[in-house]
Structure 1
């Protein structure tokens, strides 16, 4: 029997495995369904994200149910399937969210998870590559820094925001994201810093850590109201791993599936699948993701989509291999902004991203546009729309059912209409306007709110920031504020699924901070 068994090696599981094994007397087994792809070119090279999304070698790539709120479209939900999880496949944007995000967690019953309590864990995780700052840590495993490549239109984009009344921010990691800024990334120096190559790099050398890759978690073993470990499948053979404490860290899509297969979840749904109910809890409910709108224009300077072809790819690849710079070395997003969809709001509620490339659809499917272009998109930082995760069956190899209403709440539609109108003004504002030569998407600007809504419902997509499906909080939540599953001893969930509500931005940094705090909570229990 080991002290801890961890299901999932992503942004949370890798952190827990590393921090817990700092105590040489603690034995940990880390279970991962995917392989160790830490040295794979697509994983290490920042531009490789495009090649991994939707590729089931790297990505869970689960197709959601038809969504009536977006015209019945089905969206592919991604998650990293390898050591490092989604930190090995994501867009490498470093965002913490707004300070009031964490106030809302406390108000939802998650005592001890406010901004003052969380900030030390952001700092603890971070190895900031910039100038010393009270808002950044310099001794953690996670490398964070500025972009390794900077497109020539960055200044024009920032200038257009400023000329629309949006302030230029030098620091956005202080809990206030209102303004426009050059975002930080987890790929400083031109290489991805996933939790696999940061946290686990040293931890995997420790004799008290065992890592099991290509191993599927079936369920949590439970006896007399206590978790006793995990049942796993490796090479087609099932076996049990016994542990004093079981930690489920498989992400907002797969963690609820593991719990439900274990008999923890909505009693009626589990009984219908023949799964004995151990604890009747709202597992899988409260599913959230960022819903957004994108605008793209063709411009008069080269961008990352044009020139494009074998010669350009080869040249940029060689440049990355030799110097770790150039287009292949950079995260896609190079400028971000936080906007208020209504002037009376106390904080930003729209997150905006600038990408120096454009996608075309000339042949009926997405591909790099033949002409240089840029894309500016944004999403509702804190969407009101919700969905759920359900089980298709008790088979651990079956993907969970994702049933989400991306625009199920009209408040999200209204926010995006306001944002769309802002985007239209932005592209017509100098110094950006003089670089725009033609429309790309949409082909025509909507004329009224009805046309804006039609465009949004026809095109809106997710931010790949699933959260909330095993939420912590008060007595009606799945978890208590210590991340313990209610009614089951020795079982905790640690990942983005524990968030009562989405943070106002990308979820990777917040998930890592959650795991840092969880590791400390667990260590305090042992003491």
Structure 2
């Protein structure tokens, strides 16, 4: 491979990563025809049909065509296990392969960011920005917008087993609510999804496809970012590999990293921005010592509890029947309804794992199916999964490159269940799930616990079981956190501390993880960043 670098051109803004944040940013920044924008995506295009059929996540997660297929460092909190760590590798990023759940989190999440020294990030500040990019099925309301690009709809199917689980949760003291996205999500409801008439609505569909003909926007796929070109502590552009050749693009105004909680860390560290000790150990010239790069990794650990059931339809049983599968295909082809429109989880529940919690601290994703892990086939027996996760974990992990090479995968250490509080919440979560499953509403389906199983009885048994069945729910954040302390990477304007004309705009900037699914908050971060960037230009 040639190591010479060809000048690709001059641009006002260069965005690294065409995921949930990058697509929205490209839309907003290129709205001014005098502004020239380059959007670089390391993955491929999004033309594959399974990227648009909602149930296609079963074929996209774990597939190197659409997923980076990362794996984590063996984790003591998971009894020494290493797990798959999916991240989208395609236009639209993880929004092209995720569960399509539209979830903002809780009011206190954003107020907490603001109160930690990040003015402008409180709930009252961000709610109008959420509404700005929404095209919500309910229309314009005090909590939702109908004039944005991202289509948000109700799901197009129902399952008796999920209705029964929701009723059982109510019998266990968890109320029904209508909408998870009004600032307080405690209760049970059906998830709203980023779909339009039964088709996945990714960030690329929402924000890129409508503007593909803008002459001032250049989008390059299969463009692997090597490093930021920094001179005199100012980002001047990016070096990237495309078609086995290296190119350099100049940025007249800013370089913006939107490669996610894993990818943006890799780019910064390869560029010599990060811990001086890490740079020295890898032989990378230190550009700027910023020890927080790659620290503060947070994720939602899901405990996937599985129950066998009887006398009720589940996707497991339907997939055993060729006739049922044929009907599902026809139902989708002609009506865009039925199981092929399924998000991985339809029913959601937010609850307190114990009365000592001041607000809901666990989230359920309840599914009319079961499998050992994503990428595997469904079990042959009828079952449902009640996946429960701690939505505000105290455990913190790290992401670090292991060499300057573009080919080497990073070391991802999640440190799940590394705090006493996280262990206690995991224990309480299993106990709460068993309490719900034992309610009268489910009795006629005779639920039998398959994972972790009835032999796990004592507290020690349940803690060990949590480590055995725990896995990611695909929400890594926080590795370039926003703030003013010694471990912060960006300030409240998302500008990288100590390096001019460089911002990070993606899930990595979250100081603390939001209380729920993270895709909508990433788009919020991009909408806020676009506002900050455009305001700075005016000034």
Q: TM-score range by the shorter chain?
A: over 0.9
Give the superposition deviation at 1:142. Answer: 0.5
**1:442-466 Cα deviation digits (max 9, x unpaired):** 2315222111101001111111100
1:111–1:473: 8 Å Cα contact kept in structure 2? no
Q: Cα distance, 1:188 vs. partner? A: 4.0
Q: Is 1:524 aligned to 2:532, yes or no?
A: no
The 1-side partners of 2:117 and 2:226 are apart by 30
The total of aligned residue pairs comes to 523
Q: Is the 8 A contact 1:407 1:413 kept in 2?
A: yes
CA distance in structure 1 between the partners assigned to 2:501 and 2:470 by the alignment: 41
1:28 counterpart residue number: 37
Correspondence 1:232-311 to 2 at 5 A: 232-244=240-252, 245-281=254-290, 282-299=292-309, 300-309=311-320, 310-311=322-323
Paired residue for 1:326, among 332, 338, 345?
Answer: 338
Partner residue of 2:369? 357
Q: Distance in 1 between matches of 2:448 and 2:342?
A: 26
Corresponding residue number in structure 1 for 2:20 = 11
Q: Does 1:511 align with 2:522?
A: yes
- Show the counterpart of 1:342: 354
2:379 paired residue number: 369
Bigger mean CA offset, 437-446 vs 211-220: 437-446
Change (3 A) 1:311 1:41: farther
- Does residue 413 (structure 1) correspond to residue 416 (structure 2)? The answer is no
Paired with 2:219 and 2:330, the residues of 1 have a C-alpha distance of 34
For residues 354 and 382 of structure 2, what CA distance do their matches in structure 1 show?
Answer: 33
Secondary structure at the counterpart of residue 207 of structure 1: coil
Distance 1:513 1:437, change over 3 A: closer
Runs of 4+ in 1 over 6 A off after TM superposition: none
1:488 to 478, 499, 507: 499
Distance in 2, matches of 1:506 and 1:441, equals: 23
Query: What do the CA deviations read for 1:1-50 (whole angstroms, capped 9, x no partner)?
Result: 2110000000000000001111111110000011111x322110010111
In structure 2, how many angstroms separate the alpha carbons of the residues matched to 1:188 and 1:348?
Answer: 30
Q: Give the stretch that moved more between structures: 245-254 or 471-480.
A: 471-480
Matched, 1:75 2:83: yes
**Pairwise CA distance, 1:132:** 4.5
Partner in structure 2 of residue 125 of structure 1: 133
Corresponding residue SS for 1:465: coil
Say yes or no: does 1:224 pair with 2:232.
Answer: yes
Contact 1:406-1:462 within 8 A present in 2 as well: no
Q: List alignment gaps of at least 5 residues for structure 2.
A: 1-9
Deviation at 1:360, TM superposition (A): 6.0
1-side partners of 2:299 and 2:497: how far apart? 25
Q: Which residue of 2 aligns with 1:479?
A: 490
Q: Hey, what does 2:118 align to over in structure 1? A: 110
Please report the TM-score for the alignment, with normalisation by the length of structure 2: 0.95
Unmatched tracts of structure 1, length 5 or more: none
- Describe the SS at the equivalent of 2:440: coil
Structure 2 CA distance for aligned equivalents of residues 65 and 439 of structure 1: 30
- Describe how 1:367-406 pairs up with structure 2 within 5 A: 367-406=377-416
Instruction: Measure the CA separation in 1 of the matches of 2:484 and 2:211.
Output: 35
**Which residue of the other structure, out of 195, 205, 209, is the alignment partner of 1:201?**
209
- Residue pairs, 1:105-184, within 5 angstroms: 105-130=113-138, 132-184=140-192
Post-superposition Cα deviations, 1:289-344, rounded to whole Å, max 9, x if no partner, equal 01121211122212111121454334322321222111001212111111112213
The 1-side partners of 2:331 and 2:225 are apart by 41
Cα deviation code 1:395-424 (max 9, x no counterpart): 123221112211111211100111111111
2:39 partner SS: strand
**Corresponding residue for 1:447?**
457
The TM-score normalised by the length of structure 1 is 0.97
Per-residue deviation, residues 143-199 of structure 1 (Å, max 9, x unmatched): 111111111223211111111111111122111011111111112411101011111
Contact 2:328 2:338 in 1 (8 A): yes
Write the distance in 2 (CA, Å) between the matches of 1:392 and 1:400: 6
CA distance in 2, matches of 1:354, 1:290: 15
